[in-house]
Amino acid sequence: MVEVRANESWHSSWFHLLLLLLLAAAASSCHGEKKQVLPLRELQLGDIKTSEKCLPQRSRRVNGATILEMKHQSYCSWSTKSREDRAWKLLALDNARVSSLQSQINDAAMSYSAEKPSSSPPPAGAQIPLNSGAKLQTMNYIVTIQLGGKQMTVMVDTGSDLTWVQCKPCRSCYTQEDPLFDPAASPSYQPIPCNSSMCDSLQMATGVSGACGADQPSCNYALSYRDGSYTNGVLARDRIDLAAVPVRGFVFGCGESNQGMFGGTSGLMGLGRSPLSLVSQTIPEFGGVFSYCLPTREFDSSGSLILGNDYSVYKNSTPVVYTRMITDPQQASFYFLNLTGISIGGTALRSSTQFNTQVLIDSGTVITRLVPSVYKTLRDEFLRHFSGYPPAPGYSILDTCFDLAGYKEVDVPTIRFTFDGDAEVDVDVNGVLYFAKPDASQVCLAFASLSYEEEIGIIGNYQQKNLRVVYDTVGSKVGFAEETCGYS
């Protein structure tokens, strides 16, 4: 009898212990860390030879939307380079782009504060064009359009306004895959005259006024970038076709002298906010709305650029959440947002710098930049959640790296941005860690610090992977939704 009671007591104790363990596991699931699994062996980050030709990208018209296939610029610009060579160059050029953007914003702010209330243009020292990441050969993305009936593969940049292509007669041009655009072969081509409203709009779109003279009946533009790249030519009109949608009288730059690191593309598509941007010029066709879902890999994946406000063509797996655009009169073409919070693995960051801070969302910057105090807090909290892995040396602009060569997969804490209006956006697991080496022996946190607290944070395209990012310029809002990016 004693033995039976002892067994009952033993079973009862184990039952209560098992119950406690189950309750603890449930509590951990409900209140513990939020993580995503990153399968290292499936990434296949070895050296890849790019296509010999920058083949045209596909496009189609669905319902009320135009869908253009997007690919990474590396598809056109690099032949055979090691993964390590590409990674180092991308980050070095990305840092140059960020420095240039910060200088533009700072110079514009000083010019704006020094101005008297008037409509006079800013002083010459502040006439710096809105830089395109294209000139820096960073992680930009390409699409194919038709201009004057000819196919042109161009880079997409939300940080630029003027769309331009290389044109005949070309006094000095870089090598491109497509034939040069020939104005003489297009019956719909028309140069923009001087002293016209479109010529005057160059000032807002580029920071530099159109050039006119007694012997120049046409409006000439000249854009010089800080790295030495430039495009000079004639402002003109012609018909462009975006999938099956014709846009007649589209204003663009016909570049007759162009140099820089533009890869094998024909030029650039400007998706900024000024009247000269493609977005503004196509409001009658697309309502001032565009969105993209960026390719997750450099060579073997596609994304999509969708023009129009027919949201039924999106393939998002979560609802679109919106936050308002911040209009900055100093930099009216940029897309600014209010970042109100960041969390790591479900833990909200606490920083000496209060959140509710202005950031720039940019398709041409690679790595997200944060002011020093916020970055340090993010890094320290990430290390608290991502602990136990062997450290590796810092890499270029990235100072927090790990040796993950011996792992098949790792649990990565979820990083969440919160924007004005309680719009919560989770960074995809593929956008948290940057692979400096293909064998995963040097994998780094894909965030970097700015130099000063006064600078503007930038949400880079590496953290926009597998997201449908919607720009509604008429409604003055930006939306985010999770989506597995592709073209089909």
Q: Which value, in Å, is the radius of gyration of the alpha carbons in the chain?
A: 25
Give me the sign of the Cα torsion angle 371, 374, 378, 384: positive
Burial class (CB in 10 A: 0-12, 13-18, 19+), 174: middle
| CA nearest neighbour of 251 among 297, 219, 289 | 219
Banded model confidence at residue 102, pLDDT cuts 50, 70, 90 = confident
| pLDDT per residue as tens digits for the range 413-452 | 999 999 999 999 999 999 999 999 989 999 999 999 999 9
For 272, the token pair is: 């900024």
- Of all residues in the chain, what percent carry a pLDDT higher than 90? 50
Which one is catalytic: 157, 178, 241, 328? 157
Is residue 120's pLDDT more than 70?
no
* Residue that is written with structure tokens 């780094």 in the block: 444
Q: What is the pLDDT of residue 225?
A: 61
Of 94, 238, 328, 362, the active-site residue reads: 362
Average pLDDT over residues 110-134: 33
**Rounded distance between C-alpha atoms, residue 327 and residue 313, angstroms:** 28
- Residue 23 in 3-state DSSP? helix
How much is the mean pLDDT over the chain?
81
- For the stretch 131-154, pLDDT in tens is 223 333 444 788 999 999 999 999
Structure tokens at 358: 């202005």
Residue 22 pLDDT greater than 60, yes or no: no
Q: Is the dihedral of CA 48, 91, 423, 345 positive or negative?
A: positive
Query: How much is the average pLDDT of 290-300?
Result: 81
Cβ neighbours for 413, distance < 8 A, ≥ 6 positions apart: 33, 34, 35, 344, 345, 382, 385, 386
Residue 267: pLDDT over 60: yes
Q: Are the beta carbons of 229 and 262 closer than 8 angstroms?
A: yes
Is residue 362 annotated as part of the catalytic site, yes or no? yes
In 3-state terms, the chain is what percent helix, strand and coil (to 5)? 25, 35, 40
Please say whether the dihedral angle defined by the alpha carbons of residues 469, 272, 63 and 147, taken in this order, is positive or negative: negative
Q: How far is CA 357 from CA 325, 369, 370, 420, 461, in A?
A: 13, 13, 10, 10, 19
pLDDT of residue 308: 94
